[in-house]
Each structure stands twice: as structure tokens, then as C-alpha cells.
A = this chain, B = another copy of it.
Amino acid sequence: MTGRGRYGDAMHQPLDSTAPFAPALAAINSRVDEGLRTDAFFAAINPAWLRDAVLAYPRRGGKRLRPALTLWCCGLAGGDPERAWPAALAVELYHNWTLIHDDIIDGDATRRGLPSCHILLEQAAAAQLPEMSSARRERFGRDQAILAGDILHGWSVAVLARLSGAVGQALVGRLASRVTPLLISGEAQDVEYAYRAVVRPAEIWRMMFRKTGVLLQFAAEAGAMIGAGTTDPLHPAPRRLGRMARQAGIAFQLRDDWLGLFGDEATLGKPAGSDLREGKQTLLFTTALAGLEAPGRQRLLQLSGRPDLSPDELDEARALVRHSRAEAVLRRREERLIQAARAALLTFPDTPWRRLLADWLRFVCERTY
């Protein structure tokens, strides 16, 4: 499945539409890797350690759910998914550049189990300029990571611009003029909310739509616009599939919040209640606050942002969230989102692409890990 030779060859290998979900996703993963490994863009990046930093996240894999969405929506909208490869790759690169800047801002030291981009660049500084102090090294890593993210941003646009014709042009315009201001505004709000004592559920809701929903919507729209050969994102196929992807993304976030408090540690892979311990403003937390009387609200606020929370206190917080009815409210919202997304998918004829997308939806929305 991994082609040899140039990027262009890899881009035109057939995608086997009869494949069930997991092997189809694995095949996409291989082809994304191959596309990245042989792309001409990164040759222009200098010095070598900056190039390595730009390539680090895209080459670390991940589930590649976004490119899969683009390709399969293209198929479902009646097009040959091969033609959607530049869009699929662009969406994946776009997602990755936002992660680089996110990790700088959040001060996260790891990403997918490996050093985050600014840490990699700190390490490069240590190797290149060993006499540098650790404070200067940290600064150097951060500064270079800002630039690595900027280059990756450019790369995603460069790949999308390879789509020829009016549809390609419409997609470049939509990515830059809709996705960027909304998604980055969402990130800016997420940063701001961490500094604020009180955040309303409606604010978190809007921020989630921006941070998670907008790019997934674009990934689906892009595929559907290419598949249907339309420059209009309001054409039925991109409109319905874009909405489906956005709903799935928000349902995913709601599930994520819920699992973070009520999920099983063993399947979760991280301590339950960590969002609460970090004092994170999740929709579950802010909805619970809004639904409690003053004493309960005060108690939940006391329990939040405390790294040393005991198991009994965690149980107390869970009871308060249940009592606030936030758990029930948000699980119902999540269910409605998933049902709406499924219903949107079922308006399309039953093809292998629809089956793959139904599996995609199940994978995104029904995970318990």
C-alpha cells in the first residue's frame, strides 16, 4: 500500500473502497506517511533541525481520522476519493500546525508520547549550541517552535493549493477565511477562560464548536465539494456532511469531558478526575456549576483545581455533578448530536463510503477508552 517514488505517485494509488474501517484507516495512514516523506515542500526549510521540527508531528502518525473523513466524504458525494488527496493531506497538516502553537501556549512537554515541538527544538539547541544557558535554551526552543508552526501552516495551504480549478480555489478561500479566524479565536478563548473565575456554559459551547467543530466540518465539506464538483459549501452534500462532522466533533468532546470524570481509569489511560484536578473549564464542569444551588456550587468550586484531591473528594464531586443534572443534560445533548449526525449520513445512498463513514462516526462517538 505504501507507494515508492515521488509524492505524485503516492497520491494516485487507488483506495480500496471495499475495505472495512480499520484496514482502510491503516491504508490512509500509510499513504499520509508516504506523502509527507516524499513531499517537495520541506526541502526549502533550513536549518536541518528546523526541518525536523516541522516534520515531527505530521510524521508521528495519530489516527488520521481527518484525512479519512475528507476522502470518504468525497466518495460518498459521488467523486473519486483519489482527487481529494491534496485536501486530505492539507487538513492533516493544518491540524498539526495548530498543535505546535497549542503546545507552546499550554506549556505541554509531550505530544503523542514524545517530546513536543518546542522541547525538540530546545534539545536541538543543546546539541548545536552547548554553551547556551538552560533559560536561553528554553526561549530558543519556544521561538523556533513558533516559526516551525508557521511553516507548517504554510505547508497546509501549499498542499491545498495543488487542487486545481475553481473547487481548489474555493477551498483555499474557505480554509483561510473561515476555519482560521474561528479556530484560532476558539483557541484564544480557551486560553482566556483558564484565567477567568467564572465562564458560562454557552461560552464553552461556542469555544468547543470553534476549536473542535470547525476543522472537522471543513474536512468533510472539502471532500464533499470535490466529490460533488461544487464550489458551494451550501450544496446539499457538503452542507449535510459538514454538519455531520461538526456534530460528531462536539459529541466527541462531550464524551471526552464525561469520561474524564466518570470514566474507568484503566481504559482511560490517565487518572480519572484529572480535568477537575487541573481546574479545567469543561462544559460538564460549568454546566454543573450553573445547575447547582449556592452551597453545592461553592463546594464544587472548592474541589476544582486541587491536584491533591482524595478518592472520597472525587466521589463527592461526581455526586455534585450528578445532582446538578449536568451529567444527564450533557449525555442527552451528546445523544442528540450523534443521532442527528447518523440521520444526516442515512440521507445518502448505501455505498461502501457510507459504511466507512458510519464506522467513522461510531469510532469517534462511541469510544469508551
Contact = CB atoms under 8 A, between A and B. Distances in A.
Interface in A83-134: 101, 104-105, 125, 128-129, 132
A173 B150 contact: no
Q: How large is the interface on A (under 10, 10 to 19, 20 to 34, 35 or more residues)?
A: 35 or more
Given A140-B191, A157-B157, A181 B44 contact: yes
Contact of A151 (B41, B143, B185): B185
Interface in A143-164: 143-144, 146-147, 149-151, 153-155, 157-158, 161-162, 164
Q: How many copies does the complex hold?
A: 2
B154 A176 contact: yes
A47 interface: yes
A178 interface: yes
B157 A101 contact: no
Given A140-B195, A191-B140, A180 B151 contact: yes
A188 interface: yes
Contact of A188 (B47, B132, B175): B47
B105 A143 contact: yes
B154 A41 contact: no
Nearest to A210: B46
Given A50-B185, A147-B101, A195-B140, A157 B169 contact: no
A244 to B, nearest CB: 22
A7 interface: no
A334 interface: no
A179 B44 CA distance: 10
Contacts of A140: 191-192, 195
22 contacts: A44-B182, A45-B185, A47-B188, A101-B147, A128-B192, A140-B195, A144-B191, A144-B192, A147-B187, A147-B188, A147-B191, A150-B153, A150-B180, A151-B181, A151-B184, A151-B185, A154-B181, A155-B177, A155-B180, A157-B175, A158-B173, A161-B169
Given A42-B181, A157-B172, 15 more contacts: A45-B185, A46-B188, A46-B189, A47-B185, A47-B192, A50-B188, A104-B143, A105-B143, A140-B195, A147-B191, A150-B150, A154-B184, A157-B175, A158-B176, A169-B169
What 3 A-B pairs come out closest when comparing CB atoms? A154-B180, A158-B177, A158-B176
